[in-house]
Amino acid sequence: HPGGELPLTARIWAQLKWLGPLLLLLVIAAVVVIKRRRAKSGEMFDETL
């Protein structure tokens, strides 16, 4: 395509390429923290993950 500007979907995909793993790490960290807090407070929680 002419011009230096990428289509919107291509720009979004380029950002998701490095944002995806970062968000995944944040989600995993949040799950770990929540499970540890629940374990410390003595509540029962299922270890499905």
Lowest mean pLDDT among 10-14, 20-24, 31-35: 10-14
Rg (CA), the chain: 19
Contact call for residues 32 and 14 (beta carbons, < 8 A): no
Rounded to an integer, the average pLDDT of 4-8 is 79
Instruction: Please state the pTM of the whole predicted model.
Output: 0.49
As given in the structure block, the two tokens for residue 4 are: 């230096």
Q: Would you mind telling me the total number of residues written for the chain in this entry?
A: 49
| pLDDT for 26 beyond 90 | yes
Q: Which of 24, 2, 20 is nearest to 12 (CA)?
A: 20
Percentage of the chain with pLDDT > 70?
A: 76
| pLDDT for 10 beyond 60 | yes
